[in-house]
Every structure is written in structure tokens, then in C-alpha cells.
Amino acid sequence: MQQLQESLKRQEVAVAVLNWDQPDEDILAQPYDWVLAADVTYEPAALEHLAGLMSRLVSANPDSMVKLAHRYRSSALDKTMRETFNGYGLVLRPVDVRSTATAGYVDPIKAEEAIVFYRVLPM
């Protein structure tokens, strides 16, 4: 979080859109402090491309923070996602986003259609 705050103070924030199956090599070659992806795991057929892209980003930027926000849709999709990412040498580590400010917090593992945040790491 400190890296993000420092980047924001220096106004060094950039956003890039990537084609997952044919990513722009110039974009991939840049160093990143943070990579964020949200609501991108709904189509099982696209998981191969996403995991391949995330693997390249994690390898090229070992010190970066790679986060994935995933909406629970089914246990089958979650299993396929974990297996696909594992196949690319990645592990999805759940991030605890609870705080004392969220009085009505519900554990995402038990909640239907919960949003789960993962840190994407090499195995």
C-alpha cells in the first residue's frame, strides 16, 4: 500500500488495456509496482489467456503487487481458475480485506456471489 501511496503522490499512475491472447510487448516490457484486474474471471474459456498473461507479468515484475478481484459464481469455476493458474506456476492467495469499519462483513467463502481478492504469486 505504501508503494501505491507514494506513486499517487508523485502522480505516476498509468492504466493499460491488454489483449490477453496477443498482449502488446511494449506494455509488458514496462516495470509495474501494481497490476490490478477486476471482474475478469467469469468466462472459463478465457482463464487460460488470463493465467498466461498474469504469469508473464509476475515473472517480469517480481517485486510488483499483482491483485485479482474475483466474484464467486460457482465452485466449478473457482476450481478451474485455481487449476489453470497453478498450471502456469501461479498460486492465488486470498487477501483479507476485513476491517473494523465493515460492521456487516460476511466471510466470502460462505457468501453467495461474494467478491474475493487474491494476490497472484509464483509457486
Domain of 80, CATH number, reads 3.40.50.150
Residue 5 domain-assigned? no
Range of the domain at 75: 15-122
Position with higher pLDDT, 112 vs 73? 73
Residue 111 domain-assigned? yes
pLDDT tens track for 43-100: 888 999 999 999 998 998 888 888 898 888 888 888 999 999 999 999 999 887 655 4
Res. 5: pLDDT tops 60: yes
Across the chain, mean pLDDT equals 80
Q: Can you give the pLDDT at residue 43? A: 85
Residue 84 domain-assigned? yes
Residue 9 domain-assigned? no
Residue 113 domain-assigned? yes
Cα-to-chain-centroid distance, residue 71: 12
For the chain, helix (H) and strand (E) counts, in that order, are 4, 4
Residue 78 domain-assigned? yes
Reference 66, options 48, 85, 87; nearest CA is: 85
Residue 2 domain-assigned? no
Residue 69 domain-assigned? yes
- Please check whether residue 35 is in contact with residue 26, taking contact to mean a CB–CB distance below 8 angstroms: no
Count of domains observed in the chain: 1
Q: Report the percent of the chain where pLDDT is more than 90.
A: 21
Q: Can you give the pLDDT at residue 62? A: 86
